[in-house]
Amino acid sequence: MLVLHLVVPVLLVSVVMYVVLCFRPGIAERDFIPKEKQGKKQKHVLFVTAHPDDESMFFAPTLAYMAKRKDIAVTLMCLTKGDHEGQGEVRKKELIKAAVGFGLTPESVLIVDDANLPDDPRRIWNAALVAKAVEDVVVVGDVDAVFTFDQRGVSGHQNHIAAYMGVKHMALTSQRLKFRAINVYALESVGLARKFSSILDTVFCLGAFVASRNSLMFVADLQGYSMGIQAMAMHESQLVWFRKLYLVFSRYMFINNYAKIN
């Protein structure tokens, strides 16, 4: 009974907070563009993922938010074409369709096809190689902010973690970016219970957001959630039964929390 008395109020508060944040998103908004670049008419944000469908399964709330910002151009960089099961060409096309669902153009989707960066959960990529690939895009595109995975990769996939390690390596060591203002953010990984608690994780996400001034939080309202569902529906080759359950229960379809890397 004591557990119920503690848990039920937390769950109710989470639901109320989620509803409030849907109608008043400004409560959890923070600038993620460097102060030096606030005056730019068109800001440029880069998402670095490992596989086609990562953007829909993990970053949907953030991409849905970006779609509302007319002053922000988004580039989606996927470090593989998702060829682990020989479906790379199919998955490339699915990724472009999903990206269009988030308001991106096909031209804003960059798919890396490098034998040294295979879609393989057993392979650990070279961080310097990833860093160089991302750095080239950042410099050429005058990118203002980068979003990627954190050191646990949300699902623990080695390629997700390698994406983080590469982006972090770039952020902390790149000489070409030494005098460029850029913010780099990592998507927070959480435990299994929180990962599949849907909007009930809101109270913990908001707590993490308040605790750190360098953190970010994006909440998908029903329109944003629908956008994520429709984007994931484009990944037909990956839409098996357990991923359909994921779309209902995963907090990553509703909420994204980020910590600043640099």
Query: 33-39, long-range: CB within 8 Å, 24+ apart, which pairs?
Result: 33/144, 33/145, 33/183, 34/144, 34/145, 34/181, 34/182, 34/183, 35/181, 36/181, 37/144, 37/181
Give the tens place of pLDDT for each residue, 81-99: 999 999 999 999 999 999 9
Pairwise CA distance, residues 9 & 66, whole Å? 33
Task: Determine the Cα–Cα distance for residues 253 and 219; give it in Å rounded to an integer.
Answer: 9
φ, ψ of residue 229 to 5 degrees: the values are: -65, -45
- pTM (2 decimals)? 0.95
What is the CB-side half-sphere exposure of residue 126 using CA atoms within 13 A? 8
Per-residue pLDDT tens for 38-95?
889 999 999 999 999 999 999 999 999 999 999 999 999 999 999 999 999 999 999 9
Residue 194: how many other CB atoms lie within 10 Å? 14
Q: Mind listing the pLDDT tens digit for each residue in 158-169? A: 999 999 999 999
pLDDT tens profile 204-246: 999 999 999 999 999 999 999 999 999 999 999 999 999 999 9
Q: pLDDT tier at 19 (50, 70, 90 boundaries)?
A: confident
